[in-house]
Structure 1
Amino acid sequence: MEKKLSSMSPELYLKWAQEALSKGIAQRDLDNRAAQGIQILQLQKGFVRCNFIVPATALDANGKWHVGAIATIMDTAGAIAVYSETNRSKVVTDYNISYYSTAKIQDEIEIEGRVVANKGKLTSVMVEVRRKDNGELIATGKQWTASNDFRAPLGQPSKL
């Protein structure tokens, strides 16, 4: 989609983001499996709220939601929030996650990503992951992202 996201209506932006997720925005199989089934509920400038039902493909050997899959879905939500704020794809320069709990297959999860600082080329985003039924905190994460001023069309795989 060539149109700038900042000039899109909220409805069109939500449609674009949901289509990008369903097509596998990450262009990598592992990321796509970890985020399989994510649904965007609310999207506005600098903020995203998603629902997610933990699939069997995202479990560890003990049948719990794999911490790497949690990190991947947090990264996805953070990237969407940052892109909605800056209209740019950015690279993560610092990523800190605290895990408090986990989930099992078919547990319903809510993920929120919120931009907390936008300082030119640097943008910071906070992501929270909670159980939908009782609000129990599963993980929190903070990312700093940086722009490298490269503007490839969104959804186009890297040539690296």
Structure 2
Amino acid sequence: MEKAKELLQVTPEESQSLSQHLPPLTPNSNFCFYEQFILRGIHVDRVEPGLVVCTFKVPPRFTDRTGKLANGSIANLVDELGGAVAHTEGFHMNVSVDMSISCLSTAHVNDELEITSRLLGRKGGYSGTIVTLRNKATGELIAEGRHSLFGRHASKM
């Protein structure tokens, strides 16, 4: 348990580094911590029915202590972009049911990634998506995630 606590301990340098990237939250802010921390930096390149293609330059806050893109960051990108491609305008957001992610390579700080999210299909309120993360410079596949979502849609009655 002590080893786990030691590994999770944030150094003063790490704390200072993170605080430099985020504006302070105030009671009257029009943004939330999540939007500022996670979604900032994702550039949408193309949107078509069932397809979203984005570019993302890996910031230091998305990496582990070795400077590699953290697995949790990959999971978050799969969740956000899988949910985005499955969203239907005018309906409530879907909730994640299941995610399966294969991490095949690594990315580092300032690597530019191309993230492609595709809708595999929809049956009732259930949707399936696949999200791929590739190094834009080399074309190397970093990770592939399958994401299942459910959303209750308005009745046809």
| TM-score grouping bracket, smaller chain normalisation | 0.7 to 0.9
Name the CA shift for 1:138/1:63 in 2 (closer, same or farther; >3 Å).
Answer: same
Using the size of structure 2 for normalisation, the TM-score is: 0.72
Structure 1's consecutive aligned runs of 4 or more residues displaced over 3 angstroms after TM superposition are 84-88
Given the alignment of the two structures, is residue 58 of structure 1 paired with residue 57 of structure 2, yes or no? no
Q: Is the 8 A contact 2:92 2:152 kept in 1?
A: no
Given the alignment of the two structures, is residue 125 of structure 1 paired with residue 105 of structure 2, yes or no? no
User: What is aligned with 2:8?
Assistant: none
Q: Which runs of 5+ in 2 are unaligned?
A: 1-29
- Determine which of 82, 90, 93 is the counterpart of 2:94: 90
Tell me by how many angstroms 1:147 deviates: 1.1
Give the greater-gyration-radius structure (CA).
2
Paired positions, count: 125
Q: Is the 8 A contact 1:128 1:141 kept in 2?
A: yes
User: What is aligned with 1:80?
Assistant: 84
Tell me by how many angstroms 1:49 deviates: 0.2
Name the CA shift for 1:57/1:129 in 2 (closer, same or farther; >3 Å).
Answer: same
Name the CA shift for 1:116/1:142 in 2 (closer, same or farther; >3 Å).
Answer: same
Using the size of structure 1 for normalisation, the TM-score is: 0.71
- Determine which of 41, 44, 57 is the counterpart of 2:48: 44
Name the CA shift for 1:124/1:58 in 2 (closer, same or farther; >3 Å).
Answer: same
Tell me by how many angstroms 1:148 deviates: 3.2
Report the Cα distance in structure 1 between the residues aligned to 2:79 and 2:139, rounded to whole angstroms: 20
